[in-house]
Amino acid sequence: MACRWSQGKDHLLSDIIQSPKNKLLIKMRSDMKTIGLLGGMSWESTALYYRWINEGIRQQLGGLHSARIALISVDFQEIEQLQHAGDWQGAGQLLARAANHVEAAGADFLLICTNTMHKVAEQIESAISIPLLHLADATAEKIIQQGFGKVGLLGTNFTMEQDFYKGRLAKKYDLDVIVPDVEDRSLVHRVIYDELCLGTIKSESRQQYLQIIQQMYKNGAQCVIAGCTEITMLVQQQHTTVPLYDTTAIHAEAAVKMALDESSANTE
């Protein structure tokens, strides 16, 4: 009886698999890549990544489809202390270990869910064998597609002042990048760490950000990059007439495209 059941079961599974409908479903499932997220910096914006990526997959595939995601979320307190101590090597080592866990969980490519920690992107890339979908690249490509050449940049002081982000935009994409003055940079940085990373949204801070955006526009910026994944919590395109590039949304959109495009996940 066991032998006959086994044979019958094999035929039944074969019939199910060969069904045109199920063959299509199996193909769709096998073609979708697993998106690796290195998050927690802060978890407030990582939650947006998770939601927007899943919404993007559902929009593309319909039904009850959702994204295949491998997520490691680090303790941002540890990262923040290393950032402000200037210990980028230590922060890179911590994130590289976390990225190894993301890869081990089955991710086909990796997103670092923060602009600032792309400062250690090369250190992370060297520790993994899967491609890194670089946030600055995804943002710059969209800006160039829409014909802009001079951009304003908002973010942490690390992102606005150091070369790892601005330099990549300038050298790789020939973008002219301007940032706010010292006082405004300090305000933008403080709001990110003291308010947005804690989930606090203040209308006063929004108005201050909008004034800074407008000033950069007056200084020649054709558009502005919201170069911190938390900024989207405070300022969206509906708040300003200056073209605003939401890096969280752009990165999430690029992840959906890469997950569903069989060829793109093998390009790096």
Q: Which of 113, 197, 223, 228 is catalytic?
A: 228
Task: Note if 114 is an active site residue.
Answer: yes
User: 150: number of CA atoms within 13 Å, CB side?
Assistant: 9
Look at residues 237, 248, 223, 188 and name the one whose alpha carbon lies nearest to residue 47.
Answer: 248
CB 142 within 8 A of CB 245: yes
223 flagged as catalytic: no
CA angle 235, 120, 167 (to 5 degrees): 65
Annotated active-site residue in 46, 113, 114, 197:
114
Strand ordering across the sheet containing 176-178: 176-178, 150-154, 223-226, 244-246
Which one-letter DSSP state was computed for residue 268?
-
Catalytic residue annotation: 114, 228
